[in-house]
Structure 1
Amino acid sequence: MIKGFKEFILRGNVIDLAVAVVIGAAFTGIVNAIVAGLINPLIALIFQADSLNDLVIGVPNVRGGMTDFGIGVIIGAIINFLAVAVVVYFVFVYPMNRVKERAAAKAGIAEEEASELPTEQELLLQIRDLLAAPNGPAPK
């Protein structure tokens, strides 16, 4: 049992996952700081975000009282999620994709030059065909 656990822990996937969780936690702090320091003030220029918490819908319940549903909190959470998604995409994902595209374009030039050369299998087929010709390979 201990041996199996040791093998499980020493697998690369577990270590990679642990590193990803730690980096993800640190990354969350960066994204939250950008949203709180930049995106939320921009939203506050348009409307007062604190007023969303007070937005409730009252529904009569069976005991004769009112039950409040916090619709404003849900709307605020949706806006916050969209703000985080926008920051992650435009600050991190989009620039990284551009860098990868440029690196792939540079590597693509080298791949095109290499793809013009025949593959090993194509060369072997050509040799086989030359050896199978009735008069043997043609002199050069």
Structure 2
Amino acid sequence: MIQGFKEFITKGNVIDLAVAVVIGGAFTAIVNAVVSAIITPLVGLFFQADKAGNVGWTVIGLYGQEVTFPIGELISAFISFIAVAIVVYFVFVVPMNKYKERQAAKNPAVEEETLPTEQELLIEIRDALRRHNADD
């Protein structure tokens, strides 16, 4: 029973699901804090922030209202995604791949006999028909 659970946990699909959950949940608060404390102020150095704290370009609309394109939020979201992806890759994916490589080295897979391709089968049939016709 323990062996079956171990095989279930080490399957790629379970690990992929765990990584997705981690990306979606566990690091959200940390990444949001880093973005709001570091990234947003850095972006603010290059773009002017409007009254609502959005960073981006302000344009006067057709009716005289100010419209801000919040490019800072887009940049922050992109950087957040990259930061989370890097952390998850180096903390979860790389160690799991190394673990799988070690397991594969301990238990080398038996090579399966490769079946001939459709083209190879057709060539064999053609050659057999030629031999059969030559014998007649």
TM-score by length of structure 1 reads 0.47
TM-score by length of structure 2 reads 0.48
Between Structure 1 and Structure 2, which shows a larger proportion of helix residues?
A: 1
- Pair member with larger Rg: 1
